[in-house]
Structure formats: structure tokens, C-alpha cells
Amino acid sequence: MAFKVLVTKYIPEKGLKELKKHCQIIMPQKGEEFDDKYIMGIAAEVDAIIAVRFNVSTEFINKAKNLKVISVYGVGVDNVDLEKASEKGIIVTNLPEVVTEATAELAFGLMLALSRRIVEADYYLRNKNDKNWHPFLLLSNELYDKNLGIIGFGRIGRAVARRALAFGMKVYFYDKAYTKDDKFNMDVQYSSFSNILENMDYITLHVPHIKSTHHLISKYEFQIMKNSSFLINASRGPVVDQKELISALKNKEIAGAALDVFENEPEVPQELTVFKNVVLTPHLGTTTIETKTKMAFEAANKIIQFINGGTPTNIVNQ
């Protein structure tokens, strides 16, 4: 019987070309989707899954009697029941390297759009344009010479730092795994978590969503931030307490926020959509032609490694 791989959503077929030589691929056509009922119905048939924005739950794992590999199409694995997968001896892999540059670009783009009020300016021209282009129209803030605090200094955090330095920003970072032996070959300075919250002009988050980072930024954190500070989150939605963010914006405890991720995606609180000083995008961190194709290739390669008798790279549940 042929080795079967389920791809839960359409991804670039170019990246699956080599995988097709080794197995049967079950994937929706471009523009179409598999519903949860269909996926659950074929769970017992599949040997591997490329999980594309799909919750690999206990129920799915229990139904997937032949499942051997879960190749997550992204970095975060909070959509996989790792405990159940490990219990069943199922390998879980992710893609920590390939998403770095695209995600860093978006995070920096959000920060720039928020600071220079680019989204507001676009809306003004499309919907109002009263021709009153006075010298202080949509007055905004420069990034140059401002203090940027990066929370989480892994691959993406460091990629954001490189971009910020090119813009003339002063870059500080906090990472709980940092040691004095770490060398980054760039002009950045380690700072405490509290100092970043209290003193930075811009704060950008680049941490995984795990128990210790759930609501990492909540009521107290917003209270100690400067009223002029901006928050950017392109990591995981639940890292920020969304209700407290809304409250902080209403009370002008911070100057604004830019979000690519949300607590209960794809749901976005209506309250967030009314703030002019908030920029929102629908989880587009890795959504570039180049990165999506690379992700397809790498996710497929994990399964090829397994089929060929090797150990897949980037196993997260060893």
C-alpha cells in the first residue's frame, strides 16, 4: 500500500514535486478546501500529515492509526497535541529557519506603517481627501534614533534587529535564554524585561506561545509602558492579553499597536478594528511567494527523510 500524505490546505505544488515521487499526496485543489469532517474521515488512511493551519488534536491523532509524521507548515507547534503525539510515537517537526526573513520583514513593515500612519494616510486619500494638505496633516513619528525593544532574540528577533539598525534605531533585547557568552556581531544591547517595557519607544514580540508566555503582555505590563510606546506582535496571538490591550488603547496607556496575530484566529474583536492607531493584518508573517514555496519544500523534505529511513530534522517532541 502506498505511503499516504495528507496536506490539510493547498500549498505550492512546486515544493511537493520530490515528495510525489515517494508517496500519494492528498491535498485540496487551489482555491478549494477540505472541511474538518472530510479530514477526520480519511485520518485512518494517512501515514503523514503536512499540517497547514490545522489543529492536530487528540481526536485526530486517535483516529489516525497509521500516522507516523506530523510536519508542521510553520514554526509554531501550538496547533499540535504534542503530548498525545509523543505518546503514540509520532514524530512532530517544524520549520524554524525558512520563515525568518519574511516574518521579520512583516514585523518591521508593521512597525513602520504604525509609526508613520501609512494605513491612516491611505484611508484618508481613498475615502476623504478634503484637499486640506496642511503641514501637520497626519503628523507621525520617525523610527530613526528611537529605542526598540525586542522580546525574544531568536532567528526572527535578530533579523528584525538587523533591519532596525539599518534604520538608525537603538536596539535592545530580552531573551530568557541569553547568556553573556552569546555573540551576535551587531550593535545590540541586552536589557531586562522590565526595562524594555518601561523605557522603549517600540516593543516587538518574537516568542513562541507556551505556558510561560501566555499573556506575557497583560494589564501590569501595559501599565508600566510609556504612553508614547508602540507594541508590535507578529509572533503568536495569546502572547498578548487581547482584552487588556483593548483597555490600554482606550485608556491611552500606549500610543498604538500593530498585530498580525490574534488570540482566537480568525476572530478579530470588533473593538480593535475601530482604533485609528492600530494596524491589523490576517496572520501574513510568512505569506510571500518565496517563503511559501520554500516552506512546502522543507515540510515535504521532513517526510522524505523519514521514508528514506533517516531522522527528520527539526523534531520538536524528542
Question: What's the residue count for the chain?
Answer: 318
Query: What is the DSSP-derived secondary structure letter of residue 192?
Result: -
Candidates 83, 265, 267, 290; catalytic one: 265
* Residue 265: active-site member: yes
Q: Count of CB atoms within 10 A of residue 227's CB?
A: 10
Q: Which of 101, 221, 236, 298 is catalytic?
A: 236
Quickly tell me which residue has 492579553 as its cell. 241
Write down the catalytic residue from 155, 158, 163, 283.
Answer: 283
State yes or no: is 236 an active-site residue.
Answer: yes
Q: Rounded to the nearest 5 degrees, what angle is found at the Cα of 294, between the Cα atoms of 300 and 50?
A: 30
Rounded CA separation 255/114 (Å):
10
Alpha-carbon gap, residue 115 to 257, rounded angstroms: 9
Nearest Cα neighbor of 107 from 214, 248, 261 is 261
- Beta-carbon contacts of 205 under 8 Å, excluding residues fewer than 6 positions away, are 151, 152, 216, 217, 231, 232, 233, 234, 235, 239, 240
Determine the Cα–Cα distance for residues 71 and 6; give it in Å rounded to an integer: 10
Q: Which amino acid is at 64?
A: A
**CA atoms of 212 and 193, how far apart (whole Å):** 14
Residues catalogued as catalytic: 236, 265, 283
